[in-house]
Amino acid sequence: MVADMIAPHSSHTPDPIKLRDFDEIVASDTLHVIMGYNSVNYFVYKGTPMGYQYEMVQQLCKDMGLFLDLTVNNDVEEAFRCAAFGKCDLIAMELNVAKNRFPRIVFTDSLYKMRSILVQRKDSAGLVQVKDLKHLSGKTVLIPRKTIYQRQLLELEDSLHIDIDIVPLGEVGTEDLCNLVAEGRVDYTICDEHMARTLWAYYPELDFSVIVSKPQPVAWAVNSNSQVWLSKLNSWIETYKKKGNLHFLQRKYFDHPVLYLFGMPHEHSLSGGKISKYDDLIQKYSNEIGWDWRLVASLIYQESRFTTDFQSPSGAFGLMQLMPGTARHMGVNYNSSAEEQLKGGLKLLHYMDTAFAIYIDDESERHKVVIAAYNLGMAHFYDAFELAKKHGKSPITYAVVIECLKCKSKPLYYNDPVVKFGYLNPWYVERFVREIYARYNAYCAVFPEK
């Protein structure tokens, strides 16, 4: 909610960063993660980032006090290359553990075990061509490159004395191939057990009855030089499993597929959907003030879940949760349309951005401060700027501002002559900003900037 007035990433490979271990990750306050984009591990539904792997990584970041910097990439080989050359700290995919899968890559302790499943299309009578793995002889099976599926199929060839035409494809995810099988454009592919348990609800024409492998350990992967980070991850995984969190997520995403998501494709990012029905308006007015529309969308989600008629106990109302006094200054009232509410809220963002520009030169740092002020009101931030100047903090960044705001909970500082607006305990503001930027980062991984 808004008190009365008184960093983007995309789905392409991130720029190289220095090889990092745990201390460097913590010092940077950010965890660089590569994750697959599909209806199991990561997607956006009704503006909410979701997914099995996504929820695990979110909890990991929360427990370790880190911001999540997410890159989506369904190309496993490219993900391995990024980790091997220090372009990410963690590959959060369902990776089958195997020796020598990729140079300079090491796996965490196993998260769980999974089997690989043959995916094929049923005919009009509900029958399939391959009822036994021996029937794969002479068949063409398309798979994503550098997955464990190629090794498993080669082992089948040797053990069953058959010949399979194995075709690895780059930049194609497992779910994409399953979709092609459902459309009749591809005859066979392989997926893991989790994908099969999800897709059966949406694709009754697909068959997942033929098991390709015994249960294999599945894990995450990191750079082999990051030994302290690996140890910390393994300790976290052990605790996470003991708490029953993995079991909970399996029930949520696989035993009861989430909301039968493809029933509402316009609200699902995997089906070309939008963050909200207001995307076009958010883009229009965000462009006018030079803000990333996905950051604004994340703020709106945090404030109102894209609901126009929501009113908080304090009186804040509408999509942008403007307080009545602020709303009047922005030309908005309780009867304003959704577009008028958006226009007024963006006008307020622009006003604060302009007012803070004389204190903070860096735009990305300033936008974080503006988001914080949107929640808290502007007054206390002028105190923070004055404290920062008095104590020689230069340049003024978001972290510096938060540090100075926290100081206002102590008599030494809130009684300082430069402080005009008194005591403050801003514990909730950091969480507000962190959640908005985590969601923003998740939006950036899927939706174009425009």
CATH number of the domain that 153 lies in?
Answer: 3.40.190.10
Same domain membership, residue 352 and residue 285: yes
The C-alpha atoms of residue 97 and residue 187 are separated, in whole angstroms, by 27
**Catalytic site residue from 303, 339, 340, 435:** 303
Same domain membership, residue 295 and residue 239: no
* 172 domain residue, yes or no: yes
Q: Within 10 A of 264 (CB to CB), how many other CB atoms are there?
A: 13
* 244 domain residue, yes or no: yes
Question: Over the stretch 274-285, which tens digit does the pLDDT of each residue have?
Answer: 888 999 999 999
Same domain membership, residue 195 and residue 139: yes
**Which contiguous run of DSSP H or E holds residue 114?**
strand 112-114
Pick 353 or 248 by higher pLDDT: 353
Which region holds residue 102: left if phi is over 0, alpha if psi is between -120 and 50, else beta?
beta
* 10 domain residue, yes or no: no
* Amino acid at residue number 363: E
Is 303 a known active-site residue? yes
Same domain membership, residue 291 and residue 433: yes
Same domain membership, residue 316 and residue 264: no
pLDDT confidence tier of residue 292, bands split at 50, 70 and 90: very high
Q: Under 8 Å CB-to-CB from 44, ≥6 apart: which residues? A: 50, 268, 269, 273, 275, 442, 443, 446, 447
Same domain membership, residue 147 and residue 209: yes
Lowest mean pLDDT among 131-135, 196-200, 296-300: 196-200
Share of the chain above pLDDT 70, in %: 90
Same domain membership, residue 296 and residue 257: no
Same domain membership, residue 344 and residue 290: yes
Question: Over the stretch 154-202, which tens digit does the pLDDT of each residue have?
Answer: 999 999 999 999 999 877 788 889 989 998 999 999 999 988 988 886 7
Position 16 scores a pLDDT of: 47
Which residue among 214, 231, 255 closes a domain? 214
* 422 domain residue, yes or no: yes
Same domain membership, residue 265 and residue 141: no
Same domain membership, residue 294 and residue 410: yes
Average of per-residue pLDDT across 325-347:
93
Position 257 scores a pLDDT of: 54
Which residue among 230, 254, 271 closes a domain? 271
* 11 domain residue, yes or no: no
* 449 domain residue, yes or no: no
Which residue among 214, 239, 254 closes a domain? 214
The domain total for the chain is: 3
Same domain membership, residue 232 and residue 207: no
* 9 domain residue, yes or no: no
CB 215 within 8 A of CB 113: yes
CATH, residue 299 = 1.10.530.10
Same domain membership, residue 44 and residue 149: no
Its domain, for residue 198, covers 116-214
* 180 domain residue, yes or no: yes
